[in-house]
Amino acid sequence: MTLNNEKIELITDCTIDRKDGNIEFAEMKNSRFCAVVSECDFSGSEFHRTNLSGDYFESSDMSGAYFEEVNLSGAGFERSNISGAAFTDVNLRGAAFEGCDLSGVEITDCKLDGMTVNGYDSSELIEFYKNNHKDNGNMKKNARKAIIAGNWKMNKTRPEAKALLEELKPLVADVKSVEIVACVPFTNLETALSVTAGTNIKIGAENCHFEKSGAFTGEISADMLAEMGVEYVVLGHSERRQYFNETDETVNKRTKAALAAGLKPIVCVGELLWERECNITEEVIARQIKLDFFAISADDVKKCVIAYEPVWAIGTGKTATAEQAEEVCAFIRAQLAKLYSEDVAEAVTIQYGGSMNAKNAEELVSKTNVDGGLIGGASLKAEDFTVIIKAAENG
């Protein structure tokens, strides 16, 4: 059914037959729809650029309908099922909803002034919506445990490692809701494992090779780490990519090897400064996620942590703004949803890393899609690292 430039005065008791699966109101550009609609079924229908201003919908089913660039100013909705409908760029000024099911409705970029729901005006509703929306995001966030991981890089001798962890232990002993990890140089692993035994601090390595064993002088295998009791391993850190020719292919192989050994990989992704300046951050990240997790199952990807580390922010003192961090972490989650499923995307811990410190951590980790951080410089000072961990407890 296609309606073009029609003026329809009354639709009543109707069921729109969608057996061809295709009532596309896109054709109704610049059309005037109808004056009164009663007991009609528009569930799942799409309304694009349609003028429905002043129209009245009563006892109708509009569940899951999609409204885009529609004029609904002054429209009235009574006792209708609008659950799960999405309104994008819709003019809802002065529209009134009475006794409708509005559960799960999504409202994006709409004009809402003067709109009422059961007599409540839009300013109250906007507040309610914002809080509700945040709650939804936060509920999902709360289901994931934040992970604050220190990346010590090439720092600390064994006595220094011992002293740092001894200082950290009592400061974070009461922390339960955040997973605390110290990723340390290979030479410090044994010391770190024995100093933290029986505490809430987990130990990680900073890399591993993808082969199980063999003629790879200077390398360490995932099995060697797992056998020691190491739980985490940082993979694809930008310093490894930059100085040691790591590629997405080797990161993918290392991730598979780490998972096979029972380690939890912290896989780092992030764009270079010029890539951000060229506006290709999303392309770069999408490519890295696709390649780094190539042929890794949904169950395995859930065991991984992803660290979004914009390369320009690592060790430079330049932090991404909390909004930039949230934007890319949310984008990573959306990529996981595309490649795997919504459930997988919501289960994976996504950290931000890049000059996170005691001052900026609170704002960064408060973001809905930022589940903690990978911290370089600030993890070398027990007090600063503790402040970041405590910020994540509240985040």
Residues of the shown chain interacting with ligand PEP in the complex, contacts defined by CB under 6 A = 151, 153, 309, 314-315, 353-356, 374-378
Token pair listed for 338: 């595309």
Count the alpha carbons within 13 Å of 199 in the hemisphere toward its beta carbon.
Answer: 23
Q: Which one from 46, 179, 237, 326 is the annotated catalytic residue?
A: 237
**Which of 70/178 has CB closer to ligand PEP?**
178
CB 223, min distance to ligand PEP, A: 25
| Closer residue to ligand PEP (CB): 70 or 356 | 356
76-78: strand order across its sheet: 8-12, 34-38, 56-58, 76-78, 96-98, 116-117, 120-121
Residues 97 and 82: beta-carbon distance below 8 Å: yes
Measured from the CB atom, the residue of 204 and 376 that comes closer to ligand PEP is 376
Q: In angstroms, give the least distance from the CB of 388 to ligand PEP.
A: 10
Q: DSSP class of residue 319?
A: P
Residue 74 or residue 373: which is nearer to ligand PEP going by CB?
373
Min. distance of Cβ 132 from ligand PEP in angstroms? 34
CA 2 to mean position of chain CA atoms: 39
Query: Strand 120-121 relative to strand 116-117: parallel, antiparallel, unpaired?
Result: antiparallel
Dihedral over Cα of 303, 308, 314, 318: its sign: negative
To the nearest whole angstrom, how small is the minimum distance from the Cβ of residue 373 to ligand PEP? 8
Give yes or no: 209 in active site: no
| Residue 212 DSSP one-character state | S
**Please, what is the minimum distance in Å from the beta carbon of residue 259 to ligand PEP?**
21
Contact 3, 23 (CB under 8 A): no
Chain position carrying tokens 């919908």:
57
Position with the least CB separation from ligand PEP: 376
Catalytic residue among 46, 239, 309, 326: 309
**Closest separation in Å from C-beta 196 to ligand PEP:** 20
Q: Residue 265 or residue 376: which is nearer to ligand PEP going by CB?
A: 376
Nearest one of 257, 239, 259 to 299, comparing CA atoms? 259
Beta bridge partners of 91: 71, 111
Nearer to ligand PEP, 301 or 356 (CB): 356
**Active-site residue flag, 309:** yes
Going by the DSSP 8-state scheme, the letter that residue 198 receives in this structure is T
State how far the Cα of 145 lies from the Cα of 148, in Å rounded to an integer: 10
Catalytic amino acids?
237, 309
